[in-house]
Homo-oligomer: A and B are copies of this chain.
């Protein structure tokens, strides 16, 4: 049995988990890979700290275990890339710097397999990386980059090779989902739930990337490229975060038999793609509505095999590491035959405004008899069928109610709202909140 030598560059939370599994399971992994999987070297700036949690032997670290300067680390990474005995490099440094991109490209050019959990660099610079992997006939493994432990990448690439993915929807950001779950379960407002998430370590001090939909958008861009064969530019995705979701929105959702989730959504329609990350109302009989806290869930609708759900841990040291190790075994076993992403058909990304969805519209209006009739009549005049009108939360100054529609376009709704403004210029106290409903 030949050796298949692995190096890890960047050995923090995820990298150290990979080292642990490679050391703990060497025999099983070698049988599964049909090659002896050997962890040969690790590069990290703080080896002592990195080695601590899982008792990783310090002699595996370049530099013999002493702390490294950035320059030293860079030099050691180059050494690893130049080392002809190394077959595969695990990148767990993170970030989207040119420094990192160049090291990753150098790895591929040196004909080494590359495995990464770095969703940001794949979403933003994936094209260069995937092209290089293909040119150099090596594997670019990225199972860990989308929803941690959930095996969604290999499922789409290998298990659904006899099918076509038509629609993707998922809860792919644990932080946002934790916040929304807390708001729903404990009746908290957004700011309080965010603070709690920060105290529990689920949210960063600067939570922007998580709560704005950016992190979820990275994952969606990667899945679109894989499932639909199209290189959607991350910056072209329409991202709406959860910052504006209020307690009262969850309350209306509940009345409609729904909860609110930050949903990554993409669908192929007539040779085009719509893709968005935004809060949506999810019907209670959809499994996505039951996924709470830091758990992730991906729903796929396939042409032949119908609807699938994958539910699992979206983050965590060993959880994410297990996906990376699966990619290492796959690379070792199947080596030169792994199908890297290629763009089979280039589909255009179009706005979802003209695609039909069921929507919930929450109105805050001046409270007088006839206001419900005015609003619902305007909606009906745009040929929108109404599904439900909520209980009206009157208070002294205003009427607050929501209208759930049957499938219609956002254009139709905007016209209905313009019509309401025309007929009763001062009736709407706030801009109506429009949120799609996922059945």
Binding site for B on A (CB under 8 A): 17, 21, 25, 28-29, 31-34, 143, 148-151, 154-155, 158-164, 287, 290, 302, 304-313, 316, 318-319, 321-330, 333-335, 337, 339, 342, 344
| 15 contacting pairs across A/B (C-beta < 8 A) | A28-B164, A31-B342, A31-B344, A34-B337, A154-B159, A158-B330, A159-B326, A161-B325, A162-B325, A163-B325, A306-B313, A310-B310, A310-B311, A333-B337, A335-B337
Given contacts A287-B290, A304-B318, A313-B306, contact A329 B25 (CB under 8 A): no
CA distance A179 to B149 in the complex (A): 33
A324 vs chain B, min Cβ distance (A):
7
A182 vs chain B, min Cβ distance (A):
16
A416 vs chain B, min Cβ distance (A):
35
Which of B149, B161, B308, B319 is A149 in contact with, Cβ under 8 Å? Answer: B308
In this complex, the member of A308, A321, A327 whose beta carbon has the largest number of chain B beta carbons within 10 angstroms is A308
CB distance A306 to B312 under 8 Å? Answer: yes
Residues in B neighbouring A337, C-beta threshold 8 A: 34, 333-335, 337
CB distance B322 to A304 under 8 Å? Answer: yes
Nearest B residue (CB) for A31: B344
Residues in B neighbouring A306, C-beta threshold 8 A: 149, 312-313, 316, 319
CA distance A429 to B148 in the complex (A): 53
- Besides the contacts A158-B330, A160-B326, what 16 more A-B pairs have beta carbons closer than 8 Å? A34-B337, A149-B305, A159-B326, A161-B325, A161-B329, A162-B327, A162-B328, A162-B329, A163-B322, A163-B326, A290-B290, A304-B318, A305-B313, A306-B312, A306-B319, A308-B310
Nearest B residue (CB) for A300: B312
Residues in B neighbouring A304, C-beta threshold 8 A: 17, 21, 318-319, 321-322
Nearest B residue (CB) for A297: B309
CB distance A143 to B164 under 8 Å? Answer: no
CA distance A344 to B28 in the complex (A): 9
Nearest B residue (CB) for A306: B313
Residues in B neighbouring A163, C-beta threshold 8 A: 21, 322, 325-326
CB distance A312 to B319 under 8 Å? Answer: no
CA distance A309 to B147 in the complex (A): 13
CA distance A154 to B326 in the complex (A): 12
CB distance B161 to A143 under 8 Å? Answer: no
Residues in B neighbouring A33, C-beta threshold 8 A: 161
A157 vs chain B, min Cβ distance (A):
8
Residues in B neighbouring A312, C-beta threshold 8 A: 305-309
CA distance A425 to B414 in the complex (A): 75
Which of B155, B160, B326, B335 is A161 in contact with, Cβ under 8 Å? Answer: B326
CA distance A162 to B29 in the complex (A): 7
Nearest B residue (CB) for A153: B159
CB distance A333 to B339 under 8 Å? Answer: yes
Which of B32, B159, B313, B328 is A155 in contact with, Cβ under 8 Å? Answer: B159
CB distance B290 to A319 under 8 Å? Answer: no
CB distance A164 to B313 under 8 Å? Answer: no
A345 vs chain B, min Cβ distance (A):
10
Nearest B residue (CB) for A160: B326
CB distance B162 to A321 under 8 Å? Answer: yes
A295 vs chain B, min Cβ distance (A):
9
A139 vs chain B, min Cβ distance (A):
12
CB distance A162 to B324 under 8 Å? Answer: yes
Residues in B neighbouring A32, C-beta threshold 8 A: 161, 339
A56 vs chain B, min Cβ distance (A):
15
CB distance B21 to A161 under 8 Å? Answer: no
Nearest B residue (CB) for A329: B161
In this complex, the member of A29, A160, A328, A330 whose beta carbon has the largest number of chain B beta carbons within 10 angstroms is A160
CA distance A321 to B305 in the complex (A): 8
CA distance A326 to B34 in the complex (A): 23
